[in-house]
Amino acid sequence: MSASFASALDAAREAAALQHYPQGALYVVATPIGNLADITLRALHVLQMADTVACEDTRHTQSMLRAYGIDKSASQLLAVHQHNEAEAAENVVLRLQQGQRVAYVSDAGTPGVSDPGARLVVAVQSAGLRAVPLPGASSITTALSVAGAVAHSHEHGCFVFAGFLPVKNAERATVVQQQLANEPRCVVLLEAPHRISELAQALAVLGERPVTLARELTKQFEEVTTQPAHALTAWLAGSPQRSRGEFVVLLHPVPVAADDSESLRVLRLLLQELPLKTAVRLAADISGASRNVLYDTALGWKRNGTGQSGAGDDAAD
């Protein structure tokens, strides 16, 4: 055990021991996605107390537990992964019926989202038993929190989780072009390092749509960047390090198409006298329209030669 976690175990007992932890219940425990310090006190307490720890990889979980100073015998660790989840769930249900407390952890993050666990929970609930959530780390919400991709002020201030796209290039391209390109909300994708370049190439058809790449989250070489979709391949090629680690990929919301409203009339007038960014900011303040929508509209006018700008370069703003 790292000495730095000795006090954490004491704190976990102090903070969580007086709470009620029913027997015969499955505890779905979120674990760190990279940084071991991102464990919760309640998770530490439940992992110490559990009669059985069900997990994706027993060796990985044993190593994690020992880092925290939690000792479990081999018989207390039960493999439950995507290839045996249905069968292993029967074993878990049997242990719960015997009155055991069973904690379930995936290799990293919150179980049952992009990792195994959903079928296990269904089996437990179908048997009339209880599943207790212990919230914690999640790569999805971690990336969303620093991407600025879900704004309540935006008409599409929500997100959808798409997970991993198809492995085959043709199928992946079809999903991107026929589904993601037309999805106005923020879309959350996951990707492995050996396929991130192929995903970037497939997303290039989305053009200027902002995309956030978040890699190695919570780890030493964590990196978060937002690029136009067409620039992702070039960014990845900028350094070999950039293609390493697990990725969360966020497609930012599609700006709502503007119509011939008063906000557009104001924008056109301002563009005759002011730099683009200044004109957009003032037009949004005057009309109450979305600044992002007005900015994209002004850029479209500029590209098509249909807008007027009397103040030249934006750099002066």
User: pLDDT tens across 161-186, in order?
Assistant: 999 999 999 999 999 999 998 888 89
pLDDT at position 315: 39
CA distance 49 to 52: 9
Max mean pLDDT range (20-24, 85-89, 300-304, 307-311): 20-24
The mean of the pLDDT values for the chain is 90
Residue in this structure with the two tokens 């409203």, named with its chain if needed: 261
pLDDT at position 168: 96
pLDDT at position 293: 77
What spatial distance separates the first Cα and last Cα of the chain, rounded to whole Å? 55
Phi, psi angles (nearest 5°) of residue 193? -60, -35
Range in 65-74, 187-196, 237-246, 276-285 the model is least confident about: 276-285
pLDDT of residue 156 exceeding 90: no
Contact 159, 187 (CB under 8 A): yes
pLDDT at position 154: 54
Categorize the per-residue pLDDT at 302 as very low, low, confident or very high, splitting at 50, 70 and 90: confident
Q: Which of 42, 230, 215 is nearest to 136 (CA)?
A: 42
Beta bridge partners of 188: 161, 250
The DSSP output letter for 288 is -
pLDDT at position 3: 58
pLDDT at position 316: 38
Percent of all residues in the chain with a pLDDT value above 90, rounded to a whole number:
74
Categorize the per-residue pLDDT at 44 as very low, low, confident or very high, splitting at 50, 70 and 90: very high
Q: Cα 198 vs. chain centroid, distance in angstroms?
A: 20
Categorize the per-residue pLDDT at 264 as very low, low, confident or very high, splitting at 50, 70 and 90: confident
Q: Which of 313 and 6 is assigned the larger pLDDT?
A: 6
Categorize the per-residue pLDDT at 292 as very low, low, confident or very high, splitting at 50, 70 and 90: confident
Please give the model's pTM, rounded to 2 decimal places.
Answer: 0.78
Q: What is the mean pLDDT of residues 28-35?
A: 97
Percent of all residues in the chain with a pLDDT value above 70, rounded to a whole number:
91
pLDDT at position 312: 47
